Structure 1
Amino acid sequence: MSSIGLSFGDDLAGDRPRSLTSAVQERLRTDILSTRLLPGQKLHIAGLAKQFSVSLAAVREALSRLVADGLVQASDQRGFRVSPVSPADLRDVTQTRVDIEGLALRRSIENGDRAWLGSVEQSFAALVAVPYTYPDDPTHHYEEWVVLHRIFHRTLVNACGSPWLLGFRDILHEQSERYRRLSIRRNTEKSRNVEAEHAAIVHAVLKRDADAAVAALSKHFLTTMHLVELATPKPLGIVDTA
């Protein structure tokens, strides 16, 4: 399989992370969302500081920021660990995302201009132009697809006109991303036609059929939820007892 992601040094050289703490935060966020760090896995501050060649304080601050985002949990007795996942949380995240993102999509269809419709078409075209998974490993997403998938779904709701709605939507997207990655790791999506699901959403958006677009979006999210639930007996990662 091709190498995944950037090295930590590459992150530091880029424009997005503006400090060592931000660089550590972004690297850990990426590893959590990609499930390279699994749910429940303990995060050792000293080990991470050594791995990234930064101070203990920088790692601790980065982890605290991720606690605020809901991706990491903190305990006075047990330190930091990746936030666990569960069937109940999966259903809650999915249904809330259906409600929030469905509302944002409906408002975008109402408010969006021709430029927005064009951006939806362009983001979908860019997404279908790259592979869904690595040809030699169907249990891992092609990394460019992951980036373009995030852009596609954000573009669908960009015209909603509410920064608060978009902020809540972005948080739910991140939480959903972990579950989706866990699903594909167990190859439960092999019979799924994700491109067709996306195409149904786009088709309804371009027709400005809000009811059909929201229905297609909801079906898309619920399909992911059901596939994660099928990844039994232990579909939701690990619990590190160390």
Structure 2
Amino acid sequence: MNIGLSFREGLAGDGPRSLTSAVQERLRADILSTRLLPGQKLHIAGLAKQFSVSLAAVREALSRLVADGLVQASDQRGFRVCPVSLADLADVTQTRIDIEGLALRRSIERGDEAWLSSVAVAWESLKAVPHRYPDDPTVHYEEWVVRHRLFHRALVNACGSQWLLGFRDVLHEQSERYRRLSIRREVGRARDVQAEHAAIVDAVFARDADAAVRALSKHFGTTREFVELAAPRIAEVNGTS
């Protein structure tokens, strides 16, 4: 199949309105899924050929991803996927706990019954699909990833602040890269993600903001622990081993 042709054909439906936006979203997806690895060089000419778009469209898409913290730009070395590190992981995790914890607390205080219903729907939807592929536990089940993102967003949607939600979304994307990298490298330790989510949901339904934030913090902290356990193997894809 011609990748560039199929990419352009995808714009005819409900996709992004411009080629630049389409390239940006494709690259974003590849970075978050770790198909493009941390530290990997991003060659403008090669990407333009792959997507059958202009050099300018690729350059603009990459510049937008720089603003999102997913790509690095250097006058001398061009563009590359942002690297990962344990220091960055700690920073992302704690900041996400602070920002998303505040958004969750406000949502519990301000959210109405419609919001609680939306949380219930997102929770049931998430539980309906497996966390990993049964025949390959080192790979996320893709539909779970989509529903997981919607579930965590539903929890904070009633916070009443678009700025808070915007910061929260950026941090979620940064965390997603680390989670994807860690699950690709088994660490020999079991984790009950559904139980972690259930603890958050139970506290939300009980309107117990303190308990909900504690459960959310523990959930994010556990993700950090698993990433740290996989760190030696993650370093291999980051060029730091």
Taking structure 2 as the reference length, what is the TM-score of the superposition? 0.94
**Structure 1 segments unaligned to the other structure (5+ residues):** 1-6
Check the 8 A contact 1:139/1:186 in 2, yes or no.
yes
Q: What is the match of residue 194 of structure 1?
A: 193
How far off is 1:236 after superposition?
4.3
State how many pairs are aligned: 235
1:131 and 2:139 matched: no
Q: What is the match of residue 218 of structure 2?
A: 219
What is the identity, as a one-letter code, of the residue corresponding to 1:110?
A: E
Give the direction of change, closer, same or farther, for the CA distance of 1:87–1:104 in structure 2 (3 Å limit).
same
Q: What is the match of residue 56 of structure 1?
A: 55
What is the identity, as a one-letter code, of the residue corresponding to 2:172?
A: H
For residues 1-12 of structure 1, the aligned pairs below 5 Å read: 8-9=7-8, 11-12=10-11
Q: What is the match of residue 21 of structure 1?
A: 20
Distance 2:224 2:154 in 1: 22
216-225 or 232-241, which deviates more: 232-241
Q: What is the match of residue 4 of structure 1?
A: none
For residues 46-195 of structure 1, the aligned pairs below 5 Å read: 46-188=45-187, 191-195=190-194
What is the identity, as a one-letter code, of the residue corresponding to 1:98?
A: I
Distance 2:78 2:88 in 1: 22
Q: What is the match of residue 228 of structure 1?
A: 227
Distance 2:10 2:189 in 1: 32
| 3-state DSSP of counterpart to 1:186 | coil
How far off is 1:135 after superposition?
1.6
How far off is 1:137 after superposition?
1.2
Check the 8 A contact 2:132/2:140 in 1, yes or no.
yes
Give the direction of change, closer, same or farther, for the CA distance of 1:188–1:87 in structure 2 (3 Å limit).
same
Distance 1:15 1:59 in 2: 21
Alignment RMSD (CA, Å): 1.5
Check the 8 A contact 1:189/1:227 in 2, yes or no.
no
| 3-state DSSP of counterpart to 1:172 | helix
> Is the helix fraction higher in 1 or 2?
2
Distance 2:236 2:210 in 1: 35
How far off is 1:136 after superposition?
1.5
Distance 1:189 1:10 in 2: 43
How far off is 1:194 after superposition?
0.5
Q: What is the match of residue 3 of structure 2?
A: none
Counting aligned pairs with the same residue, the percent is: 79
How far off is 1:144 after superposition?
0.6
Q: What is the match of residue 40 of structure 2?
A: 41
| 3-state DSSP of counterpart to 2:73 | strand
What is the identity, as a one-letter code, of the residue corresponding to 1:77?
A: Q
| 3-state DSSP of counterpart to 2:139 | strand
